[in-house]
């Protein structure tokens, strides 16, 4: 099993070195695809040094102009070659030590996609009340339109079978990646899981970039990608052409469930 860690970076000179150190310390075979989104601080210099240090595992791409998180992720995901793709921010809010918990449902063939939830009981830093309210409100609206029961749609930690995420057409260039991908996954046969993660939120003084404007934009993205996108525009290939998707359990009363029940009659007693 090989991980592809896709890390968009923009002006993270204070955290990117430590973040990459933590990613590299995770005991999996991995490639780390770092997309520097035209940073204007010392981030490019730091990344150049880190690329020499981690030459065998790290691939560095620098954008000529700032294009946004979604555009950086679209590029990095397209270059991924691992079995499993992990999205990783460079700001130390999310801990790579959670990778084993995140990838296990996929390794167990229970899930095609895993969301890491900040609201399922993992340790977290106590910070902005209205941010948590906004996150939960956006998740609730997304759930209402997708008919899935996520607790944290806006989480950074999303983990995919590579064939799944590379089959999705990513349209939004900025912070709309989360609601866009969630909407397109909910309209697919992919099996989604959630697991608790730790979360170490930072303040605006420490470099947090998301503002209330991004929350307002997310509302539009949720409506747009759930109500005004055809399945054909969302995918590169029909889902039935994607190998290895998890088969969901048969519904009670279905022909498959009846067959399983009949076969159970012939099991040898223990």
87-132 per-position pLDDT tens digit: 999 999 999 999 999 999 999 999 999 999 998 876 555 555 666 7
- Average of per-residue pLDDT values in the chain: 87
226-251 per-position pLDDT tens digit: 888 776 678 999 999 998 899 766 55
In order of their start, the domains of the chain are 2-264 (3.90.550.10)
**Are the CB atoms for 248 and 191 separated by under 8 Å?**
yes
Measured CA to CA, the distance from residue 59 to residue 65 in angstroms comes to 19
Please provide residue 8's backbone torsions phi and psi, each rounded to the nearest 5 degrees.
-80, 140
Which residue did the predictor score with more confidence, 131 or 80? 80
Q: Kindly tell me if the per-residue pLDDT of 148 is higher than 90.
A: yes
Whole-number pLDDT of residue 218: 78
In Å, how far from its chain's centre is CA 189?
A: 17
Whole-number pLDDT of residue 211: 66
**Are the CB atoms for 112 and 171 separated by under 8 Å?**
no
Measured CA to CA, the distance from residue 135 to residue 158 in angstroms comes to 16
**Are the CB atoms for 172 and 70 separated by under 8 Å?**
yes
Give the SS3 label for residue 87. Answer: strand
Mean pLDDT, residues 13-19 taken together? 96
Mean pLDDT, residues 186-201 taken together? 93
**Are the CB atoms for 65 and 38 separated by under 8 Å?**
yes
Measured CA to CA, the distance from residue 50 to residue 20 in angstroms comes to 8
26-75 per-position pLDDT tens digit: 999 999 999 999 999 999 999 999 999 999 999 999 999 999 999 999 99
Whole-number pLDDT of residue 59: 97
Whole-number pLDDT of residue 121: 74
Measured CA to CA, the distance from residue 101 to residue 147 in angstroms comes to 25
Q: Kindly tell me if the per-residue pLDDT of 208 is higher than 80.
A: no
The helix or strand, by DSSP H or E, that contains position 7, with its residue range, turns out to be strand 2-9
Whole-number pLDDT of residue 242: 94
Whole-number pLDDT of residue 269: 45
């Amino acid at each position: 099993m090989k991980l592809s860690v896709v890390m968009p970076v923009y002006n993270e000179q204070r955290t990117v070195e430590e973040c990459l150190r933590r990613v590299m310390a995770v005991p999996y075979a991995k490639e780390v695809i770092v997309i520097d989104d035209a940073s204007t601080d010392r981030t490019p210099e730091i990344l150049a040094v880190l690329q020499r240090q981690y030459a065998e595992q790290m691939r560095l791409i620098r954008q000529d102009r700032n294009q946004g998180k979604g555009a950086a992720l679209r590029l990095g995901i397209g270059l991924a070659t691992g079995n499993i793709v992990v999205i990783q921010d460079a700001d130390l809010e999310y801990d790579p030590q959670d990778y084993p918990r995140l990838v296990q449902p996929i390794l167990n063939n229970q899930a095609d996609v895993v969301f890491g939830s900040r609201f399922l009981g993992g340790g977290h830093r106590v910070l902005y009340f209205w941010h948590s309210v906004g996150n939960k409100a956006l998740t609730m609206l997304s759930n209402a339109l997708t008919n899935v029961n996520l607790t944290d749609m806006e989480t950074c930690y999303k983990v995919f079978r590579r064939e799944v995420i590379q089959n999705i057409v990513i349209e939004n260039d900025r912070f709309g990646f989360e609601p866009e991908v969630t909407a397109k996954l909910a309209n697919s046969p992919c099996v989604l899981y959630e697991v608790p993660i730790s979360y170490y939120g930072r303040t605006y003084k420490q470099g947090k970039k998301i503002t209330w404007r991004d929350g307002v934009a997310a509302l539009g993205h949720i409506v747009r990608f759930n109500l005004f996108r055809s399945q054909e525009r969302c995918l590169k290939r029909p889902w039935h052409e994607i190998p290895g998707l998890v088969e969901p359990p048969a519904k009670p009363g279905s022909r498959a469930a009846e067959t399983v029940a009949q076969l159970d009659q012939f099991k040898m007693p223990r």
